[in-house]
Amino acid sequence: VAAESSLKTDESARIMKEAQDLMPGGVNSPVRAFKSVGGGPVVFDRVKGSKAYDVDGNEYIDYIGSWGPAIVGAANEEVNEALVKQIEKGTSFGAPCELENQLAQDVIDAVPSLEMVRFVNSGTEACLSVIRVMRAFTGRQKFIKFSGCYHGHADMYLVQAGSGVLTLGLPDSPGVPKETTAPTLVAKYNDLDSVKAIFEANKDEIAGVILEPVVGNSGFIPPTMEFLQGLRDLCTAEGALLCFDEVMTGFRISYAGAQGHFGIKPDMSTFGKVIGGGLPVGAYGGRRDIMEMVAPAGPVYQAGTLSGNPLAMTAGLKTLEILRRPGSYEYLDKITSRLAAGMVDAAKDAGHDAVGGSISAMYGMYFTKDPVHNFEQASQSDMKKFAPFHRGMLESGIYLAPSGYEAGFTGLAHTEEDIDKTIEAARKVLSTIPPN
Ligand code: PMP
């Protein structure tokens, strides 16, 4: 039942109507269209700190933060100031610049498993590049991913992927050749036996395992320690490489990523979002002997016109500098755990089954009774409740990801007052949704 809108959305509706004719579905990335929650998206005019402002003048507390990059707050003044200075010197060189060394050094210093990195322009690009290198290094074709994990939209990953692929109910995408996904083997998250079985059935054929070390693309799913340690040991024993896709978790779960939080050392990692501070950036990196296979040091080809551009490097450098300040992650952990607990309590008090949690600046909640350890359990969540919850929150000035299969993000600009208002709104909205 679609709630009647109390939001003023005339301008958003006008712009989205126009957009329908110009871009597929009116958007440049599918989840933005609000398809799974209905009601139509609001069109942003500007963002600042923890807030977003739409074209009809509505203000929202924003828990998407551009899907992760805005961890130091949107349109952060220090980041902006650095960007304005850099613009004067040029936005893209297509030639080496020292800022690349500086960001590479910062990322390598932060994440113990990294010995070398290569910057690209998106998380998708990082993930498609890293698998090429892993295949080249091992001389093996097959790799293992997990159902509900999203690694960007490169062909070989569009098998039981999370994020918009889940939301739209596309089990797979037309246009992806079967030959391309045949070597993509899918295991169950937090289920080491499912991984062992694939290794046994494909002896000496598996290049590696790639995973979201904390899942954010089928809702928020933390790994068990045994699972991560088991994957590390299994990969080592089988001569396969372990890759953590830290596009979402990097510099968010901790300054050293999820791998720092859990103390597991993958061979390779991918990054994006936060390291670009709101500009398009991705990165992949890891062991030196593996990274030295990348051109022009080695034979594995990978390139990019805008890769390592000084503008993106500047935004990343300033963002990491702010994150390094004492207390950043303690603060993120404090407000986010309060938010997650507050939402779950609000849901339970209104008679709903709910589970949820957070690690550092990433959180989630499902409308289900039992703990969620994998995508299969996440899909037991009552998504019928999510749509009215989402719309009700939007109308209360809270901007949540428009899908029950996405994690939520906080940042340093979120205040205790923002969290209070959000929990209060959740209490109100959840009490209007029939329990079962
Ligand atoms: N990997 C993960 C874990 C992601 O969450 C995402 C994007 N949400 C990607 C890869 C792809 O990144 P991008 O959208 O920058 O291509």
pLDDT tens-digit readout, 281-297: 999 999 999 999 999 99
Q: Are 270 and 128 in contact (CB under 8 A)?
A: no
Ligand 1, atom 13, lies closest to the CA of: 123
Tell me whether residue 384 is one of the annotated catalytic residues: no
pLDDT per residue as tens digits for the range 379-418:
999 999 999 999 999 999 999 999 999 999 999 999 999 9
- ipTM, two decimals: 0.99
**3-class DSSP state for residue 355?**
strand
Is 183 in the same domain as 113? yes
408 is in which domain, residue-wise? Answer: 10-63+327-430
Tell me whether residue 63 is one of the annotated catalytic residues: no
Is 306 in the same domain as 349? no
pLDDT per residue as tens digits for the range 297-349:
999 999 999 999 999 999 999 999 999 999 999 999 999 999 999 999 999 99
C-alpha 82, offset from chain centre: 25
Residue 71 lies in a domain: no
Q: Among 97-101, 115-119, 163-167, where is mean pLDDT lowest?
A: 163-167
Is 278 in the same domain as 215? yes
Q: Is the pLDDT of residue 2 over 60?
A: no
CATH number at residue 333: 3.90.1150.10
Residue 42 lies in a domain: yes
**Which segments of 263-373 does DSSP mark as H helices, in order?**
288-291, 310-324, 328-349
Q: Is the pLDDT of residue 171 over 60?
A: no
Is 381 in the same domain as 402? yes
Backbone φ and ψ of 360, nearest 5°: 50, -125
Say what the pLDDT of residue 436 is: 78
CATH number at residue 218: 3.40.640.10
**3-class DSSP state for residue 84?**
helix
C-alpha 66, offset from chain centre: 10
- Report how many domains make up the chain: 2
The confidence band for 4, taking pLDDT boundaries of 50, 70 and 90, is low
Is 154 in the same domain as 237? yes
C-alpha 273, offset from chain centre: 8
Say what the pLDDT of residue 421 is: 98
Say what the pLDDT of residue 173 is: 86
Q: Is the pLDDT of residue 1 over 80?
A: no
Is 168 in the same domain as 238? yes
Residue 436 lies in a domain: no
Residue 111 lies in a domain: yes
DSSP output for 259-289: HHHHT---SEEEE-GGGGTTSS-EEEEE-HH
Tell me whether residue 273 is one of the annotated catalytic residues: yes
Alpha carbon distance 185, 208 (integer Å): 10
Residue 266 Cβ < 6 Å to ligand 1: no
How large is the average pLDDT for residues 61-68? Answer: 98
Residue 106 Cβ < 6 Å to ligand 1: no
Which residues have a Cβ under 8 Å from the Cβ of 419 and sit 6 or more positions away? 335, 338, 339, 342
Enter the pTM of the model: 0.96
Alpha carbon distance 143, 146 (integer Å): 10
Q: In this structure, what token pair is assigned to residue 210?
A: 């790639």
The distance in angstroms from the start CA to the end CA of the chain is 14
Residue 107 Cβ < 6 Å to ligand 1: no
Q: Is the pLDDT of residue 73 over 90?
A: yes
Reported residue count of the chain is 436
Average pLDDT of the chain is: 95
Residue 217 Cβ < 6 Å to ligand 1: yes
Picking from 324, 354, 384, the residue at the C-terminal end of a domain is 324
Q: How many helices (H) and strands (E) does the chain have?
A: 15, 14
How large is the average pLDDT for residues 7-31? Answer: 97
Alpha carbon distance 421, 427 (integer Å): 10
pLDDT per residue as tens digits for the range 108-163:
999 999 999 999 999 999 999 999 999 999 999 999 999 999 999 999 999 887 66
Is 238 in the same domain as 369? no
The best mutation among 28, 71, 127, 189 to test binding of ligand 1, ranked by most ligand atoms within 8 Å of the C-beta, falls on 127
Alpha-carbon Rg for the chain in angstroms = 21
Say what the pLDDT of residue 156 is: 94
The best mutation among 120, 155, 165, 217 to test binding of ligand 1, ranked by most ligand atoms within 8 Å of the C-beta, falls on 217
Say what the pLDDT of residue 169 is: 47
Which carries the bigger pLDDT value, residue 178 or residue 234? Answer: 234
Residue 148 lies in a domain: yes
Is 130 in the same domain as 162? yes
Picking from 278, 304, 324, the residue at the C-terminal end of a domain is 324
Picking from 324, 340, 373, the residue at the C-terminal end of a domain is 324
Alpha carbon distance 150, 286 (integer Å): 20
Is 285 in the same domain as 299? yes
Say what the pLDDT of residue 294 is: 98
Nearest to 64 by CA among 390, 423, 429: 390
Is 129 in the same domain as 267? yes
Nearest to 435 by CA among 376, 391, 388: 388
Q: Are 35 and 27 in contact (CB under 8 A)?
A: no
Q: Is the pLDDT of residue 209 over 70?
A: yes
Say what the pLDDT of residue 178 is: 85
Is 386 in the same domain as 291? no
Partner residues linked to 51 by β-bridges: 48, 61
Residue 183 lies in a domain: yes
Q: Where is 173: in which H helix or E strand?
A: none
The type of residue at 61 is: I
Residue 209 CB coordination number (10 Å): 27
Share of the chain above pLDDT 70, in %: 97
Q: Is the pLDDT of residue 265 over 50?
A: yes
In the reported structure, the alpha carbon of residue 123 is separated from the centroid of ligand 1 by a whole-number distance in angstroms of: 5
Residue 72 lies in a domain: no
The type of residue at 294 is: V
How large is the average pLDDT for residues 235-250? Answer: 98
CA distances from 202 to 142, 207, 215 (A): 8, 10, 26
Residue 301 lies in a domain: yes
Residue 158 Cβ < 6 Å to ligand 1: no
Alpha carbon distance 119, 308 (integer Å): 6
C-alpha 103, offset from chain centre: 20
Backbone φ and ψ of 34, nearest 5°: 60, 30
Is 21 in the same domain as 91? no
Q: Tell which phi-psi region holds residue 301, choosing left (phi > 0), alpha (psi between -120 and 50) or beta.
A: beta
